[in-house]
A = this chain, B = another copy of it.
């Protein structure tokens, strides 16, 4: 019979993040109840949205970055760091709730989007005015609440003041960048910018910086990492972040709807100027005017399954799919070599490699 210390129970990170988020919502219950009058029910809808959600990819990268920079998950700072990392999910909730209004999306994570949900509540109750307007108004306010609560969650995480000071500029840059990336994204749709450069710029700020580079950077500064490790993390994070988005571009057109949970071809229908699409157009313009015309005619229109299939063929034929796969491979290899010489801990490097592969080889 072993007499050593009991093994530390390993709870998967997503569950720890959900626990931290649940505690945070509980801490807000008194003030929400003081306001009263239907606000608690609206906040409960936001809480359900936050708790049901996703892969917790941003907290995972932040947490892995912290461990890779020497953070001790059994040490005295771990709870505060976990809370600060979990706050990224509130930023993400605010971004998604608002994005779903902007994109007029009706479902998210298998449930009605927040604006659709509250439009339904309005309709079911036979209230005055237009259900859609009410739904949108509530979703604007709940998205705002998620954004401001993200700040509260960081401020109330229990970080020591030196760590909080280091975190400030990174936290600030991340939010300014992601809102900028979202702006570029919608501007690109309406101006129909065809350049690979514009598509890559959206990926850089809307996805790579926000999803991987800055979360890693946050983890690093929370651990008090030196400039060398921070620089390596940021290069690793940018590369993996771009590869992650390129995989997303491919899944948006070639993914299995049963696995991804969304109809194949939605990016095309919405008129999204992905790098995949821009590369295809660039190649087609060089020597395949028929393919170029097909691509230009299809984007932003209500394509049926056969038409999506036709676009898939064009994307393969002009070599854009191969190019994107090559970029994913190239970015991932460069990121792994950056990690190799970064000075991160062995445990951190293993976590980061695993997370990077999950992000760039996924099917959903």
A138 adjacent to B183 (CB under 8 Å): yes
A201 adjacent to B98 (CB under 8 Å): no
Which residues of chain A from 140 to 198 have any CB-CB distance to chain B below 8 Å in the complex?
Answer: 140-141, 143-145, 147-149, 151-152, 155-156, 161, 168, 172-173, 175-177, 179-184, 186-187, 189-192, 198
How far apart are the CA atoms of A137 and B179 in the complex, in Å? 11
Using C-beta atoms within 8 Å of the partner chain, give the interface range for chain A.
35 or more
- Chain A interface, DSSP helix/strand/loop, else mixed: helix
Task: Tell me, yes or no, whether A303 is within 8 Å of chain B by CB.
Answer: no
Residue among A36, A122, A127, A179 with most chain B CB within 10 A: A179
Chain B residues near A152 (CB, 8 Å)? 168, 172, 176
Residue among A104, A127, A183, A300 with most chain B CB within 10 A: A183
A38 adjacent to B190 (CB under 8 Å): no
Q: For the complex formed, measure the closest distance between the CB of A101 and the CB atoms of chain B, giving whole angstroms.
A: 6
Interface residues of A (CB under 8 A from B): 28, 31-32, 35-39, 42, 94, 98, 101-102, 104, 122, 125, 127-129, 133-134, 136-138, 140-141, 143-145, 147-149, 151-152, 155-156, 161, 168, 172-173, 175-177, 179-184, 186-187, 189-192, 198, 201, 205, 271, 300
Known: A28-B176, A98-B141, A144-B147. 10 other contacts (CB 8 A): A31-B177, A37-B187, A38-B184, A39-B183, A128-B191, A129-B190, A140-B143, A141-B183, A148-B151, A151-B151
